[in-house]
Amino acid sequence: MGKYSSWDFKKRDHDAKVNMNGDASVQVDKRRGRICEHADICKGYLDDQFNQIEELQDEVSPNFVEEVVALFFKDSSRLLANIERVLEKYPRDFSRLDSLMYQLIGSVSSIGALRMKNECTSFRDHCSDGNLEGCKRSFQKVKREYTTLKQKLEKYFQWLRQAGPVEQATNSRK
């Protein structure tokens, strides 16, 4: 597992220490590619599952992570819109709300969005309690987490792109 060797980023050892918009530097874990984990840009927002996704990226699917993330945001924005609509129209329909959120949680956890997942879980807890206000509050948090995560990942990908593919270079740190 882990096609790190083919990962562009690994080849950029000399750029490993990068300031990302003023964030702290990033250390690259060559073996597992835990860039995002170490980058403050994503710290706490993404868990190990995201690393798994990163590790699936290789020369065969060089944009895999971005594709999956794009897919996730598109699908989850739809689900969020659905939930929002139900909250407006059928606010007391907790089972429907719960079911919608359950769908969202599936992809949220698949992408490794830790904080968003936690908020989604608390939303479902409020649903099962029949706590509408709690649901609404939770939902606002979910949306906030979603937006934040989106921004962070966009920054992250931008950062990756800026680095650009670099020829393989030896590095003393390796």
Partner 1 sequence: MTIEERNGSMGRESGYRDQFPVGMRVLAVDDDPTCLKLLETLLIRCQYHVTTTGQAITALRMLRENRDRFDLVISDVHMPDMDGFKLLEHVGLEMDLPVIMLSANGETQAVMKGITHGACDYLLKPVRIEELRNIWQHVIRRRRFDSGQHNNFDSGEDAQNTQLMDSEGEQGVADRSGKLNKKRKEQNEEKDDDSDDSAENEDPSNQKKPRVVWTVELHRKFVAAVNQLGIDKAVPKRILDLMNVEKLTRENVASHLQKYRLYLKRLSAVTSQQANLAAALGGRSSSYINMGSFESFRNYHALGRSRQLPAVASVQPNGLLGRMNTPAVFGVHGLLPSQTIQVGRTHNSSNELEKLPTTSLSGMHQGSLLQGVPMSMQQPRVMQEASKHFPSGFPASGLANSFANTANNSLLPQADRMQMLSGGLGNYSSSVRIPFSDSDPFKTSLGESTQLTNIGRCNDTWQASVSSKYPASTLRINDSVSHPGITPCNLGGNITPTASQMDGDLLGETPHGLVASRLHDAMIGQDIQNQVASLSGSTIPIPSFDENSTSFNFRNSANSNQNLEEQRQDHTHNTDLMFSSSLNSSLPNLHLNDPIAQGHPLNSGFCSTPVLAQDCRVNRSTNEDLLSYKDDSALETTRSQNGLGCSLDDLVNAMLKSDREDATAYMDGDLGCDLYSLSTCM
Q: Is 86 a binder of partner 1 (CB under 8 A)?
A: yes
The site string for partner 1 over 117-156 (x = CB under 8 A, - otherwise) reads ----------------------------------------
Applying CB under 8 A, among 24, 62, 103, 134 the residue interacting with partner 1 is 103
Minimum separation from the CB atom of position 151 to partner 1 (A): 19
Contacts of 168 (CB under 8 A, 6+ apart): 11
Is 79 a residue that touches partner 1 (CB under 8 A)? yes
Tokens 């509408």 belong to residue: 132
Provide, rounded to whole angstroms, the least separation between the CB of residue 71 and partner 1.
Answer: 5
Q: Which of 88, 134, 130, 79 is nearest to 107 (CA)?
A: 79
Minimum distance between the CB of residue 145 and partner 1, rounded to whole angstroms? 16
User: Both tokens of residue 80?
Assistant: 């969020």
Choose one: 4-12, 23-31, 61-69, 136-144; the region binding partner 1 (CB under 8 A). Answer: 61-69
Do residues 10 and 29 touch, judged by C-beta distance below 8 A? Answer: no
Closest separation in Å from C-beta 93 to partner 1: 7
By the rule CB under 8 A, 81 interacts with partner 1: yes
Among 4, 7, 72, 159, the residue binding partner 1 under the rule CB under 8 A is 72
End-to-end CA distance of the chain: 20
Can residue 68 be called a binding residue for partner 1 (CB under 8 A)?
yes
CA-to-CA distance for 5 and 16, rounded, in angstroms? 15
Backbone angles phi, psi at 41, to 5 degrees: -60, -30
| In the block, residue with structure tokens 């990226």 | 57
Q: Tell me the C-alpha distance between 66 and 53, whole Å.
A: 10
Structure tokens at 145: 């987490």
List interacting residues with partner 1 (CB under 8 A): 1, 49, 52-53, 56, 61, 64, 67-68, 71-72, 74-76, 78-79, 81-82, 85-86, 89, 93, 95-96, 98-100, 102-103, 105-107, 109-112
